[in-house]
Structure 1
Amino acid sequence: MADVMEHPKVVVGGVEIPAAAIAAEVQNHPAPDAEEAWQEAARALAVRQLLLAEADRQEIVAGECTDVEGRKLVEDDARIDALLVENVMVPNATAEEARRFYENHTDRFCSETLIEAEHILFSASPEDTFNYSLAVGDARMTIRELEANPASFGELAKAKSACPSKEQGGNLGQIGKGQTVAEFEQALFGLVEGELCREPVKSPYGVHVIRAGRRAEGRQLPFEVVEQSIRNYLEEASYRKAMSQYLSILASETEIEGVNLAAAEGPLVQ
C-alpha cells in the first residue's frame, strides 16, 4: 500500500479512482516494471470511468448482454458495450479493399517452409566447459559414423540421444521457422533434402547432430483462401482507430488528473 500512496490521485471528471482499485487492476496489465504496470492499470480504469460517465450523460440503459464467449456482462460493462455500439461504427471491409491489401502485402500470405528433421542430442550445459567439449567430441564421432553408414541414424539416435525423439529414431517431424532454437534452425534450413550437417551444432541445450529430411517449400496462398481473414484484420484496425478517436474526443472534453490518456493505445476496455 505504501507504494500505491506515492502515486498522484487519479481523477476523471471529478470522480476519483481509488488507489486500491488501481492496485487490484495491476494484475491485468503485465509490464516490464511495477511503475509501468501501475500506469497501464490507471489508464484502463480512467478510460472505463470516462466511458461510464458518457453513458450516464447519454442516459444509456443496457439490457442483458454477453461477451464474445457468451458470458453475461455485468451492468456497467453492458452499458459501455451499448455506448460503443451506438457511437463507434465501422463499415465492413469490402472485397476490393481486401484484395488491394493482399496485392500490397503478398509476402504476408505464404505458407511456411517445413523441413523434416532427424536429430541426435548430446546434452551438456555451455557453462560446463569440460562436459560441453566432450559432447562436441561425441557429436563429431557420430557424424563420422553416419557419413560411413547413413542408414544407422535411427539406431544411433536410440542409443545416444538425450532427446525424447530418440524413441522415434531421432525424427522430430516437420519443423517450421521459429519452432526451435536459432542455432538449430539456422543449421537445419541451410541443408538440402537428405543432407547431414557436417559439423556439430551447438546450442544452450547441448550439441546436436542434424540431418534434413523432406522439404516442403512455402507457397503463395490464393486470395480466396485469405480474403476473410484480411477483411477481419482491416475491420479490427478500423475499429481500433475509431475507438482511439472517440476516446480522444471524450478526454478532450473532460478534466483528467493523475494519468495521461494520450499515452493509451486502443480502448483499454477489459
Structure 2
Amino acid sequence: MATTVKVEHSGLKKIVVPASPTKQEIDTRIPPKAKPLFKEVSVNGIVIPEVDILQEAQNHPAQTPGEALLEAARSLVIRELLWQEAKNKNLVPDNEDSTREDSVGEDNAGEDNSRQTKLDAAISALLESEIKTPEASEDDCKAFYDRDPSRFSTETIWQVRHILIGANPKDKKAFDQAREKAYVILEQVKKNPHEFATIAKDISSCPSAAQGGNLGQITRGSTVPEFENALKKTKKTGLLMQPVESRYGYHIVEINQIIPGKILPLEMVKEKIAAWLEASSWSKAVQQYIAILAGKSHITGIDLKPGEGPLVQ
C-alpha cells in the first residue's frame, strides 16, 4: 500500500501529501469511460456504433471533421434503412437475417467483408425490385440536346511548343529576372524563328527541351490554367508576342496548329444523353424511396430530411 508523508510548518496546519507509489504497486483504478462524440444514432432501435461512423467518415471528404461525420452518419442510416426493408421483403437469406449488432466486436475481417458484400447485394436487390423508372425516349433526348448543343462539343486541340524560363514565384528577384530573360529570348526567337527548337534545347527548364520544346497536342485541363488561358485567347497560329507567366516561370510559346472543337450531332451523343437522363431519374426515385422509408421509421441522433444525404453507392 502507498504511504503518506506528513509535512508540518510552524503556525500552519498539518498537510498530508500522498507518497509516490513504489515500483511494486500497480494502479488498478478503472479510467473513466470516454464520452461519445455525438448523440446515439439508431434506426428502429438498431444502434449504429460510433466506431462505424468514424470509419465511414473517411469516405466523405468535407471542409470540417464535423461535416464528414454528419455525412457518414447519414450514409449509414440510409444503408440501415434499406437493409431492414430488404429483410422485411424477404430479400435476405435466412442465415444472413441478422442485425448490425450481431457484428459488433467481431475481429474477423474476412467475415466482416463477406457480410458487407451480402448486405450490398440485398440492398441492390431491394432497389431493383422497388425502383422502376422509364427509359429515356427519343423526344426526351432531343429536348435535352436542344437546350444547349454546345455542351456536346469536341475539345479544341492546340499543337504547341515552348521555351520555359523557370523560376519560383515566391522568389520575387528570381522571378523578375526570369521575366527579363524571357523577353530577351523572345526577341531572339522573333529574329530567328527557325532556331526555336535549338534555343529550347539549350535553355528551356522544361523536360520538353529534349524535343525542342514540343509539348504535342494540348486539350482543356492538360496543362496549368495560366498556360491554357493564354492559348484560349489566341485565335491564330504562330509565336505569341508576349511571354506567358505561370507558376513555373515564363514561357515563350509558339502555336503550330489549332483544331477547333465542333458540336457533335444528336445521333452521336444520343446514347450518352439517354444514359444520363435515366441515371438522373433513377437517383431521384431512390431519394424519394428513402424519404418514404425514413418517414415511417424511428430514427434517432440525426435528422434525415428528404433529399439529404448521399445515395447508396
TM over 0.5: yes
How far did residue 49 of structure 1 move? Answer: 0.6
Cα deviation code 1:27-80 (max 9, x no counterpart): 1112122111111111111001101111122222369xxxxxxx9972221111
Structure-2 separation of matches of 1:226 and 1:138: 48
Structure-2 separation of matches of 1:6 and 1:74: 28
Tell me the equivalent position of 2:41: 10
Tell me the equivalent position of 1:183: 226
Structure-1 separation of matches of 2:277 and 2:285: 12
Structure-1 separation of matches of 2:34 and 2:222: 40
Cα deviation code 1:167-204 (max 9, x no counterpart): 11111112223322222122222224332122222111
Cα deviation code 1:116-151 (max 9, x no counterpart): 111111111111111111111111111001110111
Matching residue within 56, 61, 64 for 1:30: 61
Matching residue within 113, 118, 125 for 2:161: 118
Cα deviation code 1:86-114 (max 9, x no counterpart): 10111111222112211112111111211
Q: Provide structure 2 residue ranges, at least 5 long, that are not aligned to the other structure.
A: 1-32, 95-113
1:74 partner SS: helix
1:16 partner SS: strand
Structure-1 separation of matches of 2:205 and 2:157: 24
Structure-1 separation of matches of 2:271 and 2:207: 40
Structure-1 separation of matches of 2:126 and 2:231: 53
Tell me the equivalent position of 2:215: 172
Contact 2:287 2:306 in 1 (8 A): no
What is the TM-score normalised by the length of structure 1?
A: 0.90
Matching residue within 56, 60, 83 for 1:52: 83
Change (3 A) 1:263 1:141: farther
2:90 partner SS: coil
What is the TM-score normalised by the length of structure 2?
A: 0.79
Structure-1 separation of matches of 2:65 and 2:35: 10
Bigger drift between 26-35 and 186-195 goes to: 186-195
One-letter amino acid of the counterpart of residue 92, structure 1: E
Structure-2 separation of matches of 1:155 and 1:4: 69
Tell me the equivalent position of 2:258: 215
One-letter amino acid of the counterpart of residue 80, structure 2: Q
Tell me the equivalent position of 2:199: 156
Q: Where does 1:21-100 land on structure 2 (aligned, <5 Å)?
A: 21-61=52-92, 74-100=117-143
Change (3 A) 1:154 1:200: same
Contact 1:244 1:266 in 2 (8 A): no
Change (3 A) 1:144 1:72: farther
Q: 2:263 aligned with 1:232, yes or no?
A: no
Change (3 A) 1:252 1:194: same
How far did residue 115 of structure 1 move? Answer: 1.1
Q: Where does 1:236-247 land on structure 2 (aligned, <5 Å)?
A: 236-247=279-290
1:117 partner SS: strand
Tell me the equivalent position of 1:140: 183
One-letter amino acid of the counterpart of residue 15, structure 1: I
Structure-1 separation of matches of 2:279 and 2:206: 42
Percent of aligned pairs sharing the same letter? 40
Q: Provide structure 1 residue ranges, at least 5 long, that are not aligned to the other structure.
A: 64-70
Change (3 A) 1:4 1:105: farther
Q: Give the structure, 1 or 2, with the largest relative contact order (CA under 8 Å, sep 6 or more).
A: 1
Structure-2 separation of matches of 1:94 and 1:249: 28
Residue-pair matches, total: 262
Tell me the equivalent position of 2:25: none
Contact 2:44 2:297 in 1 (8 A): yes
Q: 2:62 aligned with 1:19, yes or no?
A: no
1:145 partner SS: helix
One-letter amino acid of the counterpart of residue 38, structure 2: H
Structure-2 separation of matches of 1:90 and 1:73: 27
